[in-house]
Structure 1
Amino acid sequence: MKWDPVKYVQFGDYRDRPFFDLTGRIQADRPQHVVDLGCGPGNLTATLARRWPEAQVVGLDSSREMLDRAAAQAGKHAGLSFGLADIAAWTPPAETDVVVTNAALQWVPGHQEMLAGWLAALKPGAWFAMQVPGNFNAPSHALMRELAGSARWSPQLDGVLRGGESVGEPGDYLGIMLDAACTADAWETTYEQVLTGTDPVLDWVRGTALRPVAAALSAEDGHAFEAEYAAALRAAYPATAHGTVFPFRRIFAVAQKQPGA
Protein backbone atom coordinates (compact mmCIF):
# COMPACT_ATOMS: atom_id res chain seq x y z
CA MET A 1 0.00 0.00 0.00
CA LYS A 2 1.49 3.32 -1.08
CA TRP A 3 1.20 6.46 1.01
CA ASP A 4 0.80 10.04 -0.20
CA PRO A 5 2.84 12.27 2.15
CA VAL A 6 1.24 15.44 0.77
CA LYS A 7 -2.28 14.16 1.44
CA TYR A 8 -1.23 12.89 4.87
CA VAL A 9 -0.09 16.31 6.07
CA GLN A 10 -3.04 18.16 4.53
CA PHE A 11 -4.72 18.50 7.96
CA GLY A 12 -1.43 19.00 9.76
CA ASP A 13 -2.67 21.20 12.58
CA TYR A 14 -5.30 18.64 13.56
CA ARG A 15 -3.19 15.53 12.96
CA ASP A 16 -0.17 16.94 14.81
CA ARG A 17 -1.92 17.94 18.01
CA PRO A 18 -2.14 14.40 19.50
CA PHE A 19 1.62 14.00 18.94
CA PHE A 20 2.38 16.99 21.15
CA ASP A 21 -0.18 15.95 23.75
CA LEU A 22 1.57 12.57 23.83
CA THR A 23 5.19 13.68 23.90
CA GLY A 24 4.42 16.36 26.49
CA ARG A 25 4.05 13.50 29.00
CA ILE A 26 7.60 12.20 28.38
CA GLN A 27 9.80 13.52 31.17
CA ALA A 28 13.15 12.35 29.83
CA ASP A 29 15.79 14.97 30.60
CA ARG A 30 18.77 14.36 28.31
CA PRO A 31 18.15 11.16 26.34
CA GLN A 32 20.90 10.08 23.98
CA HIS A 33 19.01 7.66 21.74
CA VAL A 34 15.44 8.39 20.60
CA VAL A 35 13.34 6.36 18.14
CA ASP A 36 10.21 7.54 16.31
CA LEU A 37 8.53 4.31 15.24
CA GLY A 38 6.35 4.87 12.19
CA CYS A 39 7.67 8.38 11.61
CA GLY A 40 5.76 9.16 8.39
CA PRO A 41 7.01 12.30 6.60
CA GLY A 42 9.37 13.17 9.45
CA ASN A 43 8.13 16.64 10.32
CA LEU A 44 7.16 15.57 13.84
CA THR A 45 10.33 13.53 14.28
CA ALA A 46 12.24 16.75 13.68
CA THR A 47 10.53 18.30 16.71
CA LEU A 48 12.08 15.56 18.85
CA ALA A 49 15.50 16.51 17.50
CA ARG A 50 14.85 20.12 18.43
CA ARG A 51 13.66 19.16 21.90
CA TRP A 52 16.71 16.95 22.56
CA PRO A 53 19.50 18.43 20.42
CA GLU A 54 22.18 16.22 22.00
CA ALA A 55 20.35 13.00 21.12
CA GLN A 56 20.60 10.70 18.13
CA VAL A 57 17.01 10.72 16.87
CA VAL A 58 16.06 8.01 14.37
CA GLY A 59 12.76 7.96 12.46
CA LEU A 60 11.72 4.55 11.13
CA ASP A 61 8.97 3.84 8.61
CA SER A 62 7.99 1.11 6.14
CA SER A 63 6.93 3.57 3.41
CA ARG A 64 9.61 4.70 0.99
CA GLU A 65 7.32 7.55 -0.12
CA MET A 66 7.17 8.85 3.44
CA LEU A 67 10.92 8.46 3.92
CA ASP A 68 11.63 10.34 0.69
CA ARG A 69 9.69 13.25 2.18
CA ALA A 70 11.40 12.84 5.55
CA ALA A 71 14.87 13.04 4.03
CA ALA A 72 14.50 16.82 3.73
CA GLN A 73 14.31 17.03 7.53
CA ALA A 74 17.50 15.08 8.17
CA GLY A 75 19.83 17.80 6.94
CA LYS A 76 18.37 20.35 9.33
CA HIS A 77 19.51 18.59 12.52
CA ALA A 78 22.89 16.96 13.11
CA GLY A 79 21.51 14.07 15.16
CA LEU A 80 18.47 13.31 13.02
CA SER A 81 18.30 10.37 10.61
CA PHE A 82 15.69 8.14 8.99
CA GLY A 83 15.56 4.50 7.98
CA LEU A 84 13.36 1.87 6.34
CA ALA A 85 11.97 -0.62 8.85
CA ASP A 86 8.98 -2.89 9.46
CA ILE A 87 7.48 -2.23 12.90
CA ALA A 88 6.51 -5.89 13.23
CA ALA A 89 10.18 -6.93 12.92
CA TRP A 90 11.64 -4.16 15.08
CA THR A 91 13.33 -4.58 18.47
CA PRO A 92 14.56 -1.68 20.61
CA PRO A 93 18.36 -1.40 20.52
CA ALA A 94 19.92 -1.78 23.97
CA GLU A 95 20.88 1.90 24.15
CA THR A 96 17.35 3.22 23.47
CA ASP A 97 16.21 5.93 25.92
CA VAL A 98 12.91 7.02 24.36
CA VAL A 99 10.49 5.39 21.91
CA VAL A 100 7.65 7.40 20.38
CA THR A 101 5.07 5.83 18.11
CA ASN A 102 2.29 8.10 16.92
CA ALA A 103 -0.69 6.88 14.86
CA ALA A 104 1.19 3.84 13.55
CA LEU A 105 0.47 0.75 15.67
CA GLN A 106 -3.12 0.44 14.41
CA TRP A 107 -1.64 -0.82 11.13
CA VAL A 108 0.24 -3.64 12.91
CA PRO A 109 -1.80 -6.75 13.80
CA GLY A 110 -0.70 -8.18 17.15
CA HIS A 111 0.96 -4.96 18.27
CA GLN A 112 -0.23 -5.40 21.86
CA GLU A 113 1.86 -8.57 22.19
CA MET A 114 4.74 -6.77 20.51
CA LEU A 115 4.40 -3.90 22.97
CA ALA A 116 4.99 -6.28 25.87
CA GLY A 117 8.17 -7.50 24.16
CA TRP A 118 9.41 -4.00 23.40
CA LEU A 119 8.92 -2.92 27.00
CA ALA A 120 10.73 -6.02 28.26
CA ALA A 121 13.68 -5.15 26.00
CA LEU A 122 13.99 -1.53 27.16
CA LYS A 123 16.60 -0.64 29.76
CA PRO A 124 15.54 0.69 33.17
CA GLY A 125 14.62 4.35 33.01
CA ALA A 126 13.68 4.28 29.31
CA TRP A 127 10.40 5.76 28.08
CA PHE A 128 7.77 4.40 25.66
CA ALA A 129 5.00 6.70 24.39
CA MET A 130 2.25 5.60 22.01
CA GLN A 131 -0.89 7.03 20.45
CA VAL A 132 -3.44 5.23 18.26
CA PRO A 133 -6.83 6.21 16.84
CA GLY A 134 -9.84 5.21 18.91
CA ASN A 135 -12.46 5.91 16.24
CA PHE A 136 -12.75 2.57 14.44
CA ASN A 137 -16.39 2.32 15.47
CA ALA A 138 -17.20 5.92 14.55
CA PRO A 139 -19.40 6.51 11.47
CA SER A 140 -16.39 7.49 9.37
CA HIS A 141 -15.01 3.97 9.70
CA ALA A 142 -18.15 1.91 10.28
CA LEU A 143 -19.79 3.27 7.12
CA MET A 144 -16.68 2.49 5.12
CA ARG A 145 -16.67 -1.13 6.34
CA GLU A 146 -20.42 -1.44 5.76
CA LEU A 147 -20.09 -0.29 2.16
CA ALA A 148 -17.04 -2.50 1.58
CA GLY A 149 -19.09 -5.47 2.79
CA SER A 150 -22.02 -4.76 0.47
CA ALA A 151 -22.91 -7.07 -2.42
CA ARG A 152 -21.38 -4.66 -4.92
CA TRP A 153 -18.01 -4.23 -3.24
CA SER A 154 -17.35 -7.31 -1.11
CA PRO A 155 -15.87 -9.37 -4.00
CA GLN A 156 -13.04 -6.84 -4.26
CA LEU A 157 -12.82 -5.58 -0.70
CA ASP A 158 -13.45 -8.61 1.50
CA GLY A 159 -10.89 -8.58 4.30
CA VAL A 160 -9.30 -5.29 3.22
CA LEU A 161 -10.53 -3.20 6.16
CA ARG A 162 -10.03 -3.94 9.84
CA GLY A 163 -12.37 -2.88 12.62
CA GLY A 164 -12.29 -2.18 16.32
CA GLU A 165 -9.92 -5.09 16.90
CA SER A 166 -7.18 -2.96 15.36
CA VAL A 167 -6.48 -1.24 18.69
CA GLY A 168 -7.06 -1.75 22.39
CA GLU A 169 -8.69 0.52 24.93
CA PRO A 170 -6.64 2.74 27.26
CA GLY A 171 -6.92 0.19 30.08
CA ASP A 172 -5.49 -2.55 27.84
CA TYR A 173 -2.31 -0.59 27.18
CA LEU A 174 -2.07 0.51 30.80
CA GLY A 175 -2.19 -3.11 31.93
CA ILE A 176 0.55 -4.17 29.52
CA MET A 177 2.79 -1.37 30.74
CA LEU A 178 2.20 -2.07 34.42
CA ASP A 179 2.83 -5.78 33.86
CA ALA A 180 6.18 -4.83 32.28
CA ALA A 181 7.37 -3.15 35.51
CA CYS A 182 6.71 0.36 34.26
CA THR A 183 5.13 3.40 35.79
CA ALA A 184 2.43 4.27 33.30
CA ASP A 185 -0.30 6.68 32.32
CA ALA A 186 -3.10 5.99 29.82
CA TRP A 187 -5.93 8.20 28.68
CA GLU A 188 -8.18 9.12 25.78
CA THR A 189 -9.15 12.41 24.18
CA THR A 190 -11.86 13.25 21.68
CA TYR A 191 -11.02 16.33 19.66
CA GLU A 192 -14.13 18.04 18.27
CA GLN A 193 -12.65 19.23 15.01
CA VAL A 194 -14.41 21.68 12.72
CA LEU A 195 -13.58 20.87 9.10
CA THR A 196 -14.38 23.06 6.12
CA GLY A 197 -14.81 22.51 2.41
CA THR A 198 -16.79 20.09 0.29
CA ASP A 199 -16.96 16.55 1.73
CA PRO A 200 -14.26 17.33 4.31
CA VAL A 201 -14.58 14.01 6.19
CA LEU A 202 -14.02 12.12 2.94
CA ASP A 203 -10.99 14.30 2.28
CA TRP A 204 -9.72 13.54 5.78
CA VAL A 205 -9.93 9.74 5.48
CA ARG A 206 -8.36 9.78 2.01
CA GLY A 207 -5.04 10.42 3.75
CA THR A 208 -5.28 7.43 6.10
CA ALA A 209 -8.20 5.03 6.61
CA LEU A 210 -9.31 4.97 2.96
CA ARG A 211 -5.85 4.06 1.68
CA PRO A 212 -6.41 0.26 1.71
CA VAL A 213 -9.60 0.68 -0.35
CA ALA A 214 -7.84 2.89 -2.88
CA ALA A 215 -5.03 0.35 -3.15
CA ALA A 216 -7.46 -2.53 -3.80
CA LEU A 217 -9.62 -0.85 -6.46
CA SER A 218 -9.02 0.49 -9.92
CA ALA A 219 -9.20 4.25 -10.34
CA GLU A 220 -12.69 3.98 -11.87
CA ASP A 221 -14.01 1.73 -9.11
CA GLY A 222 -12.32 3.89 -6.50
CA HIS A 223 -14.25 6.93 -7.71
CA ALA A 224 -17.51 4.97 -7.65
CA PHE A 225 -16.85 3.73 -4.11
CA GLU A 226 -16.01 7.25 -2.94
CA ALA A 227 -19.23 8.64 -4.42
CA GLU A 228 -21.36 6.18 -2.42
CA TYR A 229 -19.29 6.63 0.69
CA ALA A 230 -19.36 10.43 0.46
CA ALA A 231 -23.17 10.44 0.41
CA ALA A 232 -23.25 8.35 3.59
CA LEU A 233 -20.70 10.64 5.26
CA ARG A 234 -22.69 13.75 4.45
CA ALA A 235 -25.68 12.26 6.27
CA ALA A 236 -23.58 11.16 9.26
CA TYR A 237 -21.62 14.43 9.50
CA PRO A 238 -23.96 17.19 8.30
CA ALA A 239 -22.49 20.55 7.46
CA THR A 240 -23.37 23.44 9.76
CA ALA A 241 -23.03 27.18 9.46
CA HIS A 242 -19.63 26.82 11.14
CA GLY A 243 -18.36 23.84 9.14
CA THR A 244 -18.51 20.07 9.61
CA VAL A 245 -17.89 18.82 13.15
CA PHE A 246 -15.73 15.68 13.11
CA PRO A 247 -15.12 13.99 16.49
CA PHE A 248 -11.59 12.56 16.54
CA ARG A 249 -11.01 10.09 19.40
CA ARG A 250 -7.42 9.14 20.23
CA ILE A 251 -5.92 6.70 22.75
CA PHE A 252 -2.65 7.50 24.55
CA ALA A 253 -0.28 5.60 26.84
CA VAL A 254 3.12 6.55 28.24
CA ALA A 255 5.42 4.30 30.28
CA GLN A 256 8.79 4.55 32.00
CA LYS A 257 10.68 1.37 32.80
CA GLN A 258 11.29 1.27 36.53
CA PRO A 259 14.90 1.27 37.77
CA GLY A 260 15.98 -2.25 38.61
CA ALA A 261 13.34 -3.84 36.37
Structure 2
Amino acid sequence: MEWDPVKYVQFGDYRDRPFFDLTQRIHADSPRLVVDLGCGPGNLTATLAERWPGAEVVGIDSSAAMLEQAAVHTERFPNLHFELGDIAAWTPGRADVVVSNAALQWVPGHEFLLPGWLNAMPEGSWLAFQVPGNFGAPSHVLMRELAETPQWSGKLDGVLRRRDAVGEPADYLRIALDAGWRADAWETSYQQLLPGQDPVLEWVRGTGLRPVLGALDAADALLFEKEYAARLRDAYPSTAHGTVFPFRRIFTVAHKPAGTGAGE
Protein backbone atom coordinates (compact mmCIF):
# COMPACT_ATOMS: atom_id res chain seq x y z
CA MET A 1 0.00 0.00 0.00
CA GLU A 2 1.36 3.42 -0.98
CA TRP A 3 2.20 5.94 1.73
CA ASP A 4 -0.10 8.93 2.18
CA PRO A 5 2.07 12.01 2.90
CA VAL A 6 -0.92 14.04 4.11
CA LYS A 7 -1.99 11.38 6.62
CA TYR A 8 1.61 10.84 7.74
CA VAL A 9 2.13 14.49 8.74
CA GLN A 10 -1.29 14.77 10.44
CA PHE A 11 0.39 14.62 13.87
CA GLY A 12 3.53 16.36 12.66
CA ASP A 13 4.58 17.98 15.94
CA TYR A 14 4.49 14.64 17.75
CA ARG A 15 6.08 12.65 14.93
CA ASP A 16 8.88 15.20 14.46
CA ARG A 17 10.02 15.48 18.07
CA PRO A 18 12.01 12.20 18.17
CA PHE A 19 13.91 13.31 15.04
CA PHE A 20 15.21 16.42 16.77
CA ASP A 21 15.94 14.54 20.00
CA LEU A 22 18.02 12.17 17.86
CA THR A 23 19.87 14.58 15.60
CA GLN A 24 20.86 17.00 18.33
CA ARG A 25 23.20 14.25 19.55
CA ILE A 26 25.13 14.26 16.25
CA HIS A 27 28.23 16.44 16.73
CA ALA A 28 29.54 16.54 13.16
CA ASP A 29 31.04 19.91 12.27
CA SER A 30 31.56 19.83 8.50
CA PRO A 31 30.20 16.65 6.95
CA ARG A 32 30.58 16.20 3.21
CA LEU A 33 27.65 13.86 2.55
CA VAL A 34 24.58 13.53 4.78
CA VAL A 35 22.05 10.81 3.99
CA ASP A 36 18.53 10.53 5.41
CA LEU A 37 17.28 6.96 4.98
CA GLY A 38 13.49 6.76 4.80
CA CYS A 39 13.15 10.52 4.43
CA GLY A 40 9.36 10.53 3.88
CA PRO A 41 7.96 13.93 2.84
CA GLY A 42 11.35 15.57 3.27
CA ASN A 43 10.47 18.29 5.75
CA LEU A 44 12.90 16.92 8.32
CA THR A 45 15.61 16.20 5.76
CA ALA A 46 15.43 19.89 4.86
CA THR A 47 16.47 20.76 8.42
CA LEU A 48 19.67 18.78 7.85
CA ALA A 49 20.38 20.79 4.70
CA GLU A 50 19.86 23.98 6.69
CA ARG A 51 22.08 22.78 9.53
CA TRP A 52 24.95 21.76 7.21
CA PRO A 53 24.81 24.12 4.20
CA GLY A 54 28.23 22.97 3.02
CA ALA A 55 27.21 19.32 2.81
CA GLU A 56 25.48 17.42 0.07
CA VAL A 57 22.25 16.21 1.70
CA VAL A 58 20.37 13.29 0.15
CA GLY A 59 16.97 11.97 1.20
CA ILE A 60 16.20 8.40 0.16
CA ASP A 61 12.74 6.82 0.27
CA SER A 62 10.94 3.93 -1.43
CA SER A 63 7.69 5.90 -1.83
CA ALA A 64 7.30 7.95 -4.99
CA ALA A 65 4.37 9.78 -3.38
CA MET A 66 6.53 10.85 -0.47
CA LEU A 67 9.32 12.02 -2.76
CA GLU A 68 6.90 14.02 -4.87
CA GLN A 69 5.94 15.88 -1.70
CA ALA A 70 9.59 16.22 -0.69
CA ALA A 71 10.72 17.83 -3.95
CA VAL A 72 9.39 21.23 -2.90
CA HIS A 73 12.16 21.56 -0.31
CA THR A 74 14.90 21.52 -2.95
CA GLU A 75 13.75 24.97 -4.05
CA ARG A 76 14.99 26.42 -0.76
CA PHE A 77 18.16 24.36 -0.33
CA PRO A 78 20.46 23.90 -3.34
CA ASN A 79 22.52 21.33 -1.41
CA LEU A 80 19.48 19.03 -1.02
CA HIS A 81 18.10 16.38 -3.33
CA PHE A 82 16.01 13.24 -3.08
CA GLU A 83 16.30 9.77 -4.57
CA LEU A 84 13.99 6.78 -4.89
CA GLY A 85 15.64 3.81 -3.24
CA ASP A 86 15.35 0.75 -1.01
CA ILE A 87 17.09 0.91 2.36
CA ALA A 88 17.78 -2.83 2.22
CA ALA A 89 19.86 -2.34 -0.95
CA TRP A 90 21.59 0.88 0.14
CA THR A 91 25.34 1.12 0.81
CA PRO A 92 27.03 4.03 2.61
CA GLY A 93 29.58 4.97 -0.04
CA ARG A 94 31.30 8.14 1.21
CA ALA A 95 28.47 9.22 3.55
CA ASP A 96 29.83 10.60 6.80
CA VAL A 97 26.49 11.34 8.47
CA VAL A 98 23.65 8.84 8.13
CA VAL A 99 20.28 9.47 9.75
CA SER A 100 17.24 7.20 9.76
CA ASN A 101 14.10 8.36 11.51
CA ALA A 102 11.33 5.79 12.05
CA ALA A 103 12.20 3.75 8.95
CA LEU A 104 14.36 0.75 9.87
CA GLN A 105 11.40 -1.04 11.47
CA TRP A 106 10.06 -1.50 7.91
CA VAL A 107 13.27 -3.33 6.88
CA PRO A 108 13.24 -6.99 7.98
CA GLY A 109 16.65 -8.01 9.25
CA HIS A 110 17.97 -4.44 9.43
CA GLU A 111 20.10 -5.43 12.40
CA PHE A 112 22.17 -7.56 10.01
CA LEU A 113 22.69 -4.58 7.69
CA LEU A 114 24.07 -2.33 10.42
CA PRO A 115 27.51 -4.01 10.87
CA GLY A 116 28.20 -3.66 7.15
CA TRP A 117 27.27 0.02 7.18
CA LEU A 118 29.37 0.66 10.26
CA ASN A 119 32.39 -1.06 8.74
CA ALA A 120 32.10 0.77 5.43
CA MET A 121 31.63 4.32 6.73
CA PRO A 122 34.71 6.57 6.96
CA GLU A 123 36.55 7.54 10.12
CA GLY A 124 34.87 10.38 11.97
CA SER A 125 31.42 9.53 10.60
CA TRP A 126 28.12 9.40 12.47
CA LEU A 127 25.18 6.99 12.32
CA ALA A 128 21.97 7.98 14.11
CA PHE A 129 18.62 6.26 13.98
CA GLN A 130 15.43 5.84 15.94
CA VAL A 131 12.75 3.18 15.68
CA PRO A 132 9.42 2.67 17.44
CA GLY A 133 9.55 0.65 20.62
CA ASN A 134 5.80 0.21 20.93
CA PHE A 135 5.19 -3.10 19.17
CA GLY A 136 4.15 -4.47 22.57
CA ALA A 137 1.79 -1.55 23.25
CA PRO A 138 -1.99 -2.04 23.17
CA SER A 139 -2.23 -0.18 19.84
CA HIS A 140 -0.17 -2.89 18.16
CA VAL A 141 -1.15 -5.89 20.26
CA LEU A 142 -4.87 -5.28 19.71
CA MET A 143 -4.32 -4.88 15.99
CA ARG A 144 -2.49 -8.22 15.80
CA GLU A 145 -5.04 -9.98 18.01
CA LEU A 146 -7.92 -8.81 15.82
CA ALA A 147 -6.04 -9.79 12.66
CA GLU A 148 -5.59 -13.30 14.11
CA THR A 149 -9.30 -13.88 14.78
CA PRO A 150 -11.10 -16.37 12.50
CA GLN A 151 -12.89 -13.51 10.76
CA TRP A 152 -9.64 -11.93 9.56
CA SER A 153 -6.81 -14.44 9.77
CA GLY A 154 -7.36 -15.79 6.26
CA LYS A 155 -6.91 -12.34 4.72
CA LEU A 156 -4.30 -10.93 7.09
CA ASP A 157 -2.01 -13.88 7.86
CA GLY A 158 1.58 -12.65 7.82
CA VAL A 159 0.63 -9.05 7.04
CA LEU A 160 1.56 -7.43 10.37
CA ARG A 161 4.99 -7.17 11.93
CA ARG A 162 5.67 -8.88 15.25
CA ARG A 163 7.30 -7.56 18.42
CA ASP A 164 10.73 -8.56 17.08
CA ALA A 165 10.51 -6.05 14.21
CA VAL A 166 13.03 -3.95 16.15
CA GLY A 167 15.70 -4.61 18.73
CA GLU A 168 16.07 -3.18 22.20
CA PRO A 169 18.50 -0.35 23.02
CA ALA A 170 21.07 -2.84 24.33
CA ASP A 171 20.98 -4.75 21.03
CA TYR A 172 21.80 -1.68 18.94
CA LEU A 173 24.41 -0.54 21.44
CA ARG A 174 26.18 -3.90 21.20
CA ILE A 175 26.19 -3.85 17.40
CA ALA A 176 27.86 -0.42 17.34
CA LEU A 177 30.38 -1.22 20.06
CA ASP A 178 31.32 -4.53 18.43
CA ALA A 179 32.12 -2.59 15.27
CA GLY A 180 34.57 -0.41 17.20
CA TRP A 181 32.36 2.69 17.32
CA ARG A 182 31.57 4.89 20.30
CA ALA A 183 27.84 4.71 20.86
CA ASP A 184 24.92 5.78 22.97
CA ALA A 185 21.53 4.05 22.97
CA TRP A 186 18.46 4.98 24.95
CA GLU A 187 14.68 4.97 24.98
CA THR A 188 12.07 7.64 25.59
CA SER A 189 8.34 7.27 26.19
CA TYR A 190 6.48 10.40 25.14
CA GLN A 191 3.12 10.83 26.84
CA GLN A 192 1.30 12.30 23.86
CA LEU A 193 -2.04 14.00 24.33
CA LEU A 194 -4.11 13.41 21.18
CA PRO A 195 -7.27 15.40 20.41
CA GLY A 196 -10.47 14.42 18.65
CA GLN A 197 -12.53 11.26 18.25
CA ASP A 198 -10.67 7.95 17.92
CA PRO A 199 -7.30 9.72 17.79
CA VAL A 200 -5.22 6.56 18.23
CA LEU A 201 -6.94 5.04 15.22
CA GLU A 202 -6.16 8.22 13.28
CA TRP A 203 -2.54 7.96 14.39
CA VAL A 204 -2.00 4.36 13.29
CA ARG A 205 -3.80 4.92 9.98
CA GLY A 206 -0.73 6.88 8.92
CA THR A 207 1.75 4.15 9.87
CA GLY A 208 1.15 0.78 11.54
CA LEU A 209 -2.33 0.12 10.12
CA ARG A 210 -1.22 0.65 6.52
CA PRO A 211 -0.45 -3.04 5.81
CA VAL A 212 -3.94 -4.04 6.97
CA LEU A 213 -5.65 -1.39 4.88
CA GLY A 214 -3.55 -2.42 1.90
CA ALA A 215 -4.53 -6.07 2.24
CA LEU A 216 -8.29 -5.52 2.57
CA ASP A 217 -10.86 -4.17 0.16
CA ALA A 218 -12.68 -0.98 1.13
CA ALA A 219 -15.67 -2.70 2.74
CA ASP A 220 -13.54 -5.06 4.82
CA ALA A 221 -11.22 -2.21 5.83
CA LEU A 222 -14.16 -0.30 7.27
CA LEU A 223 -15.34 -3.36 9.22
CA PHE A 224 -11.87 -4.01 10.59
CA GLU A 225 -11.42 -0.38 11.60
CA LYS A 226 -14.80 -0.31 13.35
CA GLU A 227 -13.96 -3.25 15.62
CA TYR A 228 -10.37 -2.13 16.12
CA ALA A 229 -11.52 1.39 17.08
CA ALA A 230 -13.82 -0.04 19.76
CA ARG A 231 -10.90 -1.96 21.27
CA LEU A 232 -8.70 1.11 21.17
CA ARG A 233 -11.29 3.18 23.02
CA ASP A 234 -11.16 0.70 25.91
CA ALA A 235 -7.35 0.66 25.93
CA TYR A 236 -6.93 4.43 25.53
CA PRO A 237 -9.93 6.10 27.18
CA SER A 238 -10.68 9.70 26.41
CA THR A 239 -10.27 12.19 29.24
CA ALA A 240 -11.29 15.78 29.76
CA HIS A 241 -7.82 16.71 28.48
CA GLY A 242 -7.76 14.42 25.45
CA THR A 243 -6.48 10.88 24.90
CA VAL A 244 -3.09 9.97 26.37
CA PHE A 245 -1.08 7.87 23.92
CA PRO A 246 2.27 6.62 25.29
CA PHE A 247 4.79 6.64 22.46
CA ARG A 248 7.99 4.67 23.16
CA ARG A 249 10.97 5.25 20.87
CA ILE A 250 14.41 3.60 20.73
CA PHE A 251 17.42 5.76 19.81
CA THR A 252 21.00 5.03 18.79
CA VAL A 253 23.76 7.53 17.96
CA ALA A 254 27.22 6.21 17.09
CA HIS A 255 30.51 7.86 16.10
CA LYS A 256 33.42 6.17 14.35
CA PRO A 257 36.69 7.28 15.95
CA ALA A 258 39.94 7.88 14.07
CA GLY A 259 42.10 4.80 13.63
CA THR A 260 39.16 2.47 13.10
CA GLY A 261 39.53 2.35 9.32
CA ALA A 262 36.97 2.88 6.63
CA GLY A 263 36.44 -0.72 5.69
CA GLU A 264 36.56 -2.15 2.21
TM-score calculated relative to the size of structure 1: 0.99
After superposition, residues 70-109 of structure 1 pair within 5 angstroms as 70-93=70-93, 95-109=94-108
Deviations 1:50-103 (A, max 9, x none): 00011100000000010010011111101000000100000001x211000000
Structure 2 counterpart of 1:184, which letter? A
Q: State how far apart, in whole Å, the 2-side matches of 1:196 and 1:5 are.
A: 20
Q: State how far apart, in whole Å, the 2-side matches of 1:105 and 1:7 are.
A: 20
SS of structure 2 residue aligned to 1:10 = helix
2:66 aligned residue: 66
Structure 2 counterpart of 1:41, which letter? P
Gaps in structure 2 of 5+ consecutive residues = none
Pairwise CA distance, 1:258: 1.6
SS of structure 1 residue aligned to 2:69 = helix
Deviations 1:182-228 (A, max 9, x none): 00000000000000100000000000000000000001100000000
1:202 aligned residue: 201
1:129 aligned residue: 128
2:188 aligned residue: 189
After superposition, residues 5-20 of structure 1 pair within 5 angstroms as 5-20=5-20
SS of structure 2 residue aligned to 1:11 = helix
Q: CA RMSD in A?
A: 0.5
Q: State how far apart, in whole Å, the 2-side matches of 1:47 and 1:146 are.
A: 39
Q: State how far apart, in whole Å, the 1-side matches of 2:33 and 2:3 are.
A: 27
Pairwise CA distance, 1:256: 0.6
Pairwise CA distance, 1:111: 0.2
SS of structure 2 residue aligned to 1:26 = coil
Structure 1 segments of 4 or more deviating over 2 A?
A: none
Deviations 1:12-70 (A, max 9, x none): 00000000000000000011110000000000000000000111000000000100100
Q: State how far apart, in whole Å, the 2-side matches of 1:72 and 1:149 are.
A: 41
After superposition, residues 204-219 of structure 1 pair within 5 angstroms as 204-219=203-218
Pairwise CA distance, 1:151: 0.3
Structure 1 counterpart of 2:178, which letter? D
After superposition, residues 136-147 of structure 1 pair within 5 angstroms as 136-147=135-146
TM-score calculated relative to the size of structure 2: 0.98
Gaps in structure 1 of 5+ consecutive residues = none
